Amino acid sequence: TCSLPRSPKGFPKLKNDTFLRAARGEETEHTPVWCMRQAGRYLPEFRETRASQDFFATCRNPKLCCELTLQPLRRFPLDAAIIFSDILVVPQALGMEVVMVTGKGPTFTEPLKEVEDLLKLRQKVDVTAELGYVFQAITLTRHSLEGKVPLIGFSGAPWTLMSYMIEGGGSTTMAKAKSWLYRHPEASHRLLRLLADVIIDYLVGQVAAGAQALQLFESHAGHLGPELFQDFALPYIRDIAQAVKSKLKEEALPLVPMIIFAKDAHYALRDLAHADYEVVGLDWTIRPQEARAQIGKDVTLQGNLDPCALYAPKEKIGELVKKMLEGFGTQRYIANLGHGLYPDMNPEHVGAFVEAVHAHSRHINKH
């Protein structure tokens, strides 16, 4: 139940820390598993809870965020919860208006068109004032989880957020946003720096509120090649990990594991392995053995079953999971999909995925 507002103190004792142990590279009896977008539209109870409310109004309602975060855990023995929220709350904190349009997705009413538009953004963001509702949702959810599993907090990464702010929504080419990188490199860096600073404070605030791990989503990395990624994405990804860690130390907050998920960025795996994240998340377009060879043994890998594999019959899902576990090995590994769950997926197939990870990894560990 997600009722009373409670303080970020005296949290219940954690009963299942498998996910955190794997993230830190400690030994686990089974491979932990969670799914990106596990609190989502594929669950009938999610659609019911969300039916009456605007998407971003839901994000601003801590009790609803808590309820939506807990729903998948009532169905499946997942090893982690991820707070229900959205990456676009950060551009909202900078003063931009984003609405959810049915059939189209998130849409910015006034995207950034010219360099001068950067002046319209809040240059100093008080994250508690602007995003305190996320912190409240995290604290409430951490209590309501009753120590069942750890709670993951997250943010979009600067390039991904910048691309949305300029494109005004989704795009197949990101041509408007990428043209800024080529035409206005200085202004692009100004915007990316502004975003990184907000993200750093936002992630530290999430840990203060009770998040036990953090994931940074660079969902649009695939639109950049190695050079643009090197110039406009990687420096900020690195800086966020380092700054978050040093601020957590300064504020005597727990040093939580951090995950970087840069979708379609195989060209950057070696760099991401040295970007100061405990875990590197992978999409489904890379072989586990290749990823391990590039990333080395000192970083935990997370991923990477093709989400569409969940359309397969349940026995087939089991076979695919077994093959994936054999590719990654059961240690220093967190099982996940290579991207989020899709709205038309069968919850029973999600359950089959989770159970297959536990069963096969236990079997492999025993033998």
Q: Which of 6, 86, 117, 276 is catalytic?
A: 86
Q: Which of 6, 41, 190, 362 is catalytic?
A: 41
Beta-carbon-side half-sphere exposure of residue 338 (alpha carbons within 13 Å): 21
Q: Which of 21, 42, 50, 283 is catalytic?
A: 50
Provide φ and ψ at 217, rounded to 5°.
-100, 110
Tell me if residue 37 is catalytic.
yes
- E runs forming strands in 36-150: 81-82, 98-101, 105-108
Give buried/exposed letters for 104-123 (b at 16+ CB in 10 A, else e): eebbbeebbeeeebbeebee
Helix (H, G, I), strand (E, B) or coil at 175: helix
- What's 41's DSSP letter? T
CA–CA separation, 192 vs 330, rounded Å? 37
- E runs forming strands in the chain: 81-82, 98-101, 105-108, 151-156, 213-218, 258-262, 279-281, 300-305, 333-337
Q: Which of 17, 21, 37, 236 is catalytic?
A: 37
Q: Which of 164, 236, 277, 333 is catalytic?
A: 164
Tell me if residue 311 is catalytic.
no
Helix (H, G, I), strand (E, B) or coil at 129: helix
Tell me if residue 86 is catalytic.
yes
CA–CA separation, 84 vs 67, rounded Å? 9
Tell me if residue 50 is catalytic.
yes
CA–CA separation, 328 vs 173, rounded Å? 32
The residues that are catalytic are 37, 41, 50, 86, 164
